[in-house]
Amino acid sequence: MKFPNLGNSAEALGLQALQSTSNGHFVVGDADVQAVAATGDGKVEFIGFETHTMGLVNSAMGYPAYYPVDDLGDEAPLQAVLMDLDGTTVHSEEFWIWIIELSVASLLGDSKFQLEDSDVPFVSGHSVSEHLQYCVNKYCPEKSVEAARHFYFEHTHREMKLILAGKGKPGAFRPSPGIKDFLLELKDMGVKLGLVTSGLYEKAYPEILDAFKTLDMGDPANFYDTIITAGHALRKGESGTLGELSPKPHPWLYAEAFRVGLGLPYSARHSVIGIEDSGAGVASIRLAGMQAWGIGGGNIDQSGTRGLCSQYTENFEALLKLIVARQGYGRNP
């Protein structure tokens, strides 16, 4: 196996085979390196050694990190399901990509600016700063990500205020089809539920609050067993919290939801699954030591991470059937 604990080959995993990591630190054939491969979007690279595999999470902000890739082990009875917000629980990716687009337009002073289709994998699923850094590098390298962040929060505050007043962009936050039945069924099964997002609190919490209002499901804080966001934004004159340099595809958000939010030991990771629609999220779950279950509608295929998913379905109805089967129930949802 060229990538112990991960897979037999880059081709089998749907990854791009490389001769070395992008930083040149590991080269195939040197220092026990058997193989090197990257996800389609280049955000995560895997280095296969004889006995183990390491994951390299690249950073547009200049702070890459290496993580061990542990085995998934044998499936245990499901104790908990951790889920992404944007694109998985709520369809809002188009809205946030639009905010990125507005921010770059403001940065350029060009109200007609539009992102390209090829930009989508790089402006969804990661942190705000990662998204903006990508756009700055491509469209206006003479500008700074700090200036882009200023416009981003200016547009975000305006639009969120309008949405909460019922006057915002139509269809900004749409609960995913089948999500209510899915969540309630898992509750009935006694499965703990966690919401995990790379979104900052000020933009993420109004989303899920709005979605739960639409679904008539009450307060999400009372429904979920844990909710982990990327924290609070750092602005001049204010204190922020860690979140811009450690979001998906780093493992920390899912690790925190699992280990701290749910209070489960690392040895229980085989009894938890994470559900994602983005390549960054899939990599985050896998690096946190848990099974990643993909759902359609996001950029999993575009980012080349489908091979990292233990399961993949196009909708929540099919996903629920797989969970029911895993739990060994003799009934259909």
Task: Based on the fold, state whether residues 184 and 297 are members of the same structural domain.
Answer: yes
Task: Based on the fold, state whether residues 196 and 317 are members of the same structural domain.
Answer: yes
Task: Based on the fold, state whether residues 128 and 180 are members of the same structural domain.
Answer: no
In the numeric block, which tokens belong to residue 240? 């922020």
The answer to whether the beta carbons of residues 14 and 304 sit under 8 Å apart is yes
* Number of domains the chain contains: 3
Question: Of the candidates 327, 298, 291, 332, which has an alpha carbon nearest to the alpha carbon of residue 315?
Answer: 298
Asked if residue 257 is part of any domain, the answer here is: yes
CA 131 to chain centre: 13
Task: Based on the fold, state whether residues 213 and 286 are members of the same structural domain.
Answer: yes
Task: Based on the fold, state whether residues 122 and 147 are members of the same structural domain.
Answer: yes
- Amino acid type, 316: F
Task: Based on the fold, state whether residues 184 and 250 are members of the same structural domain.
Answer: yes
Burial of 322 (0-12, 13-18, 19+ CB in 10 A): middle
Predicted TM-score (pTM) of the model is: 0.86
Task: Based on the fold, state whether residues 182 and 320 are members of the same structural domain.
Answer: yes
In the numeric block, which tokens belong to residue 241? 């919290």
The answer to whether the beta carbons of residues 176 and 91 sit under 8 Å apart is yes
Containing domain of residue 108, as a range? Answer: 93-164
pLDDT of residue 69: 98
pLDDT of residue 329: 61
What is the biggest distance separating any 2 CA atoms in the chain, rounded to whole angstroms? 61
Strand partners, 275: 83, 293
Cα 331 from Cα 333, distance rounded (Å)? 7
Nearest-5° Cα angle at 330, 326 to 333: 75
In the numeric block, which tokens belong to residue 112? 């007609």
Question: Of the candidates 18, 99, 141, 91, which has an alpha carbon nearest to the alpha carbon of residue 297?
Answer: 91
The answer to whether the beta carbons of residues 88 and 298 sit under 8 Å apart is yes
3-state SS of the chain is CCECCCECCHHHHCCEEECECCCCCCECCCCCEEEEEECCCCCEEEEEECCCEEEEECCCCCCCEEEECCCCCCCCCCCEEEEECECCCEECHHHHHHHHHHHHHHHHCCCCCCCCHHHHHHCCCCCHHHHHHHHHHHHCCCCCHHHHHHHHHHHHHHHHHHHHCCCCCCCCCEECCCHHHHHHHHHHCCCEEEEECCCCHHHHHHHHHHHHHHHCCCCHHHHCCEEECCCCCCCCCCCCCCCCCCCCCCCHHHHHHHHHHCCCCHHHHHHEEEEECCHHHHHHHHHCCCEEEEECCCCHHHHCCHHHCCEEECCHHHHHHHHHHHHCCCCCC
Task: Based on the fold, state whether residues 316 and 193 are members of the same structural domain.
Answer: yes
In this structure, the chain runs to a length of 333
Strand partners, 18: 36
Asked if residue 1 is part of any domain, the answer here is: no
Task: Based on the fold, state whether residues 155 and 31 are members of the same structural domain.
Answer: no
State the CATH number of the domain containing residue 225: 3.40.50.1000
Task: Based on the fold, state whether residues 249 and 133 are members of the same structural domain.
Answer: no
- Amino acid type, 152: Y
Query: Which residues neighbour 114 within 8 Å (Cβ) at sequence distance 6 or greater?
Result: 101
Cα 193 from Cα 211, distance rounded (Å)? 16
Task: Based on the fold, state whether residues 127 and 261 are members of the same structural domain.
Answer: no
Average pLDDT by stretches of 10, the chain with 333 residues: 93 95 96 95 95 95 95 91 96 91 97 94 84 96 94 91 79 92 97 94 87 93 96 84 89 97 96 96 97 95 93 96 84 45
